Amino acid sequence: MAVVDPVGERFLYDQVGQLVVAMIDNQTLQPGDRVPSLRKLSRQLQVSVTTVMQAYGRLEEQGFIEARPQSGYYVRSRPAADPQVPRKTRPYSEPRPVAVGDTVAAILAATKQPDVVPLGIANPSPELLPVKALNRALARVAGERSLTSIDYTFPPGHAELRRQIAYRTAALGCEVGPDDVVIANGCTEALSLALSAVAKPGDVIAVESPAYFFVLEMIERLGMLALEICTDAETGMCLDTLERELDRHPVRAVVTVANFHNPVGSLMPDAAKQRLVRMLAEYQIPLIEDDIFGDLHFGDARPRIAKCYDDDGLVLTCSSFSKTLAPGFRIGWVIPGRYTDAVLKLKRTMGFSATPTQLAVAEFLRSGGYDRHLRRLRSAYRDQVQRMRYRVAQAFPEGTRITRPQGGFVLWVELPAGVDGMELFERALRRGISIAPGTLFSPTQKYRRFIRLNAGMLWNDAVCAAVDTLGELVHELAAGQATA
Ligand X SMILES: Cc1ncc(COP(=O)(O)O)c(C=O)c1O
CA 121 vs. chain centroid, Å, equals 10
24/184 with CB nearer ligand X: 184
Q: What's 124-161 look like in SS3? A: CCHHHCCHHHHHHHHHHHHHHCHHHHCCCCCCCCCHHH
209/262 with CB nearer ligand X: 262
**Minimum CB distance to ligand X, residue 290 (Å):** 5
**Minimum CB distance to ligand X, residue 322 (Å):** 3
Residue 260: Cβ-neighbour burial (10 angstroms; 0-12, 13-18, 19+) = buried
**Minimum CB distance to ligand X, residue 213 (Å):** 9
196/262 with CB nearer ligand X: 262
Q: Strands, E, within 64-106: which ranges?
A: 65-68, 72-75
DSSP, res 86: P
**Minimum CB distance to ligand X, residue 246 (Å):** 23
56/212 with CB nearer ligand X: 212
Cβ atoms of residues 219 and 200 within 8 Å: no
**Minimum CB distance to ligand X, residue 292 (Å):** 4
Instruction: Give the CB-side neighbour count of residue 92, counting CA atoms within 13 A.
Output: 12
**Minimum CB distance to ligand X, residue 295 (Å):** 13
197/474 with CB nearer ligand X: 197
**Minimum CB distance to ligand X, residue 184 (Å):** 8
204/257 with CB nearer ligand X: 257
**Minimum CB distance to ligand X, residue 215 (Å):** 7
186/303 with CB nearer ligand X: 186
DSSP 46-61: T--HHHHHHHHHHHHH
Q: Whose CB is nearest to ligand X? A: 186
246/257 with CB nearer ligand X: 257
Residue 474: Cβ-neighbour burial (10 angstroms; 0-12, 13-18, 19+) = buried
Which residues make beta-bridge pairs with 253? 205
Please name the helix (run of DSSP H) or strand (run of DSSP E) that holds residue 401, with its range, or none: strand 401-402
Q: What's 241-282 look like in SS3? A: HHHHHHHHCCEEEEEECCECCCCCCCECCHHHHHHHHHHHHH
Query: Would you call 182 helix, strand, or coil by DSSP?
Result: strand
53/354 with CB nearer ligand X: 354
**Minimum CB distance to ligand X, residue 234 (Å):** 18
Neighbour count for residue 461 (Cβ, 10 Å): 10
Return residues touching ligand X (CB under 6 A). 122, 186-188, 212, 257, 262, 290, 292, 320, 322, 327, 332
226/474 with CB nearer ligand X: 226
**Minimum CB distance to ligand X, residue 214 (Å):** 6
The C-alpha atoms of residue 311 and residue 151 are separated, in whole angstroms, by 37
15/164 with CB nearer ligand X: 164
Residue 80 backbone phi and psi in degrees, to 5 = -105, 90
183/419 with CB nearer ligand X: 183
**Minimum CB distance to ligand X, residue 409 (Å):** 10
To the nearest 10 degrees (0 to 180), the angle between helices 12-25 and 49-61 is 60
**Minimum CB distance to ligand X, residue 228 (Å):** 16
The C-alpha atoms of residue 92 and residue 251 are separated, in whole angstroms, by 15
Residue 297 backbone phi and psi in degrees, to 5 = -80, 145
- Name the residue among 401, 385, 382 with its Cα closest to residue 454: 385
Q: How many residues does the chain have?
A: 484
Residue 107: Cβ-neighbour burial (10 angstroms; 0-12, 13-18, 19+) = buried
